Amino acid sequence: MNRSVVREFQAPGIRVPRGEVLVPAELGDPVRGALSCPAAPLVAGSLRRKGYRVSFAAVPRFEDPAHHGDGAALYVVTCQQRDGGTAALAAAVAPDDRLAAAAARSAVEEWAGVLGTRRAISAGSPWCGGAQQALEAVRRAISDSAGQGRVVHVHGQLAGPPETRAELASRGAVLGGSLQDAVRGDVIVFPAHGVTPAVRAEAIQRGLTIVDATCPLVAWAQAEAGRLADRGEHVVLLGQENYPAADGITSRAEGRATVIATVAGTSTLQVADARRVSYLLQPGIPIEDSAAAAAALRSRFPAVRGPHPDSFCYAPSDRAETVRTVAAGSDLMLVLGDAAAADARQLSALARDCGTRAQVIADPAEITPAMLAGISDIGIAESTSARAGLAGEITAALSGLGPLSVLRRQVSTQITDNSVIPVRPGDAQAGDATPAAAVPPPPTAAPATASPDQALPDQALPDQALPAPGLPVPAAS
């Protein structure tokens, strides 16, 4: 069989209803044996867009239609794989269904027109070490509570893939519930973005067992906000007021804290003493997003003090820079997830800023031949709305269009000294009245995350004039 040329065969014993197209998931070649069909979802997507019902099944064998045997009409094209093997794209219809036959042949021909050698460059997972730590803390809490009659509650939003949250819920965890839903002895998990002192105090008063999965960088920001307020400083949090971590930080400096997101916000800031102003950067937001507001704040309040760079949360900046780096090396950027989700839109904007065409994809079937025409390098970025396993499904489908090299490109910022972020005793714990399960910091090898146990020495606290935040210089790996 000639590669890239669509041929018609007969599939003995295969029955396909009229108006339907069967897309083989595996094809029995009489010479080569079993051929994989990884691009089957792509062919199916083309047919569904044409209005046809699609089914999947293995086609054990096929033969020349001149035999005039009984079976479906089969349209096939083959392509080489990276390992030297052969893959197939195919579609089968009822032998007397001319309309379906024309659609099936057309779909296979469209994909045959974009067969070729490509690279897929992955930008990695969207979930930072703090989010992964919190998910693992919930898993451990569920396991530790099994058979004890205790319910595991997660306070507020738990960051993670939808499937992971659903799996935890299926194991009995109550996600996003309130403290009022818990009874004495139940377990309450504080997620990565932390909670306010009032929530912590109520959990203790209710006799709940606290598992504190607050990200160490968020815990430091909370403790620092309280320390600065105790010193009489007005605390400015550069970030987003509606972001989950904001309440837990500003509540430590109640009445002496303001959240500012833009340069314009600095012009309306009112403080009691212009000489006693300090600012913090909100973990979870790219550092460079706060640079302009920080500069405006320093211009208006020359005595303002800022945090040491060792306390910055570098994961969001690393992720943004990773997406830019992948996009810059790609002809097309596939952003995985829901096109209506804010994170997917933001990733698409980052890619387009690099001059790269971006397309949001929620399923492999949404990829069209036109998207891949003339494309050699495909970037893949997972948004937080992407379902688990989607990246693997995309690369598998693309591998069915010819030899595919799958690469991972990651930008990672690491702090190289051995200092430790100071956290006030008891700040990241539950309190004496209630047992608390200690949650270890994320591993230092976690991608795109600055190691939380490398940070700010006591002598570098904002008592001094400290460097302003700027764009980190990441190391590409």
Instruction: Give residue limits of the domains in the chain.
Output: 7-115
Contact status, residue 476 vs residue 411, Cβ threshold 8 Å: yes
Whole-structure pTM value: 0.81
Burial class (CB in 10 A: 0-12, 13-18, 19+), 373: exposed
pLDDT digits (tens, 9 = 90+) for 233-261: 999 999 998 888 999 999 999 889 999 99
Contact status, residue 357 vs residue 331, Cβ threshold 8 Å: yes
- Which positions ≥6 away from 33 have C-beta within 8 Å? none
pLDDT digits (tens, 9 = 90+) for 363-377: 999 999 999 999 999
pLDDT digits (tens, 9 = 90+) for 326-381: 999 999 999 999 999 999 999 999 999 999 999 999 999 999 999 999 999 999 99
Instruction: Quote the CA–CA distance of 32 and 170 in Å, as a whole number.
Output: 45
Structure tokens, 28: 């029995």
- For 7, 138, 187, 291, 329, the CA distances from 46, given in Å and listed in that order, are 19, 41, 49, 46, 28
* Rounded (5°) CA angle 89-94-98: 90
Arithmetic mean of pLDDT, 128-157: 92
Instruction: Quote the CA–CA distance of 343 and 365 in Å, as a whole number.
Output: 21
Mean pLDDT of the chain: 86
Q: Is 419 left (phi over 0), alpha (psi -120 to 50) or beta?
A: beta
pLDDT digits (tens, 9 = 90+) for 49-108: 999 999 999 999 998 876 566 889 999 999 999 999 999 999 999 999 999 999 999 999
- Judge whether residue 26 has pLDDT over 90: yes
Q: What percent of the chain has pLDDT over 70?
A: 86
Task: Specify the pLDDT at position 474.
Answer: 34
Looking at 266-375, which runs of residues are DSSP E strands?
277-281, 332-336, 357-361
Among 154-163, 186-195, 297-306, 343-352, the minimum mean pLDDT is found in: 154-163
Arithmetic mean of pLDDT, 261-272: 93
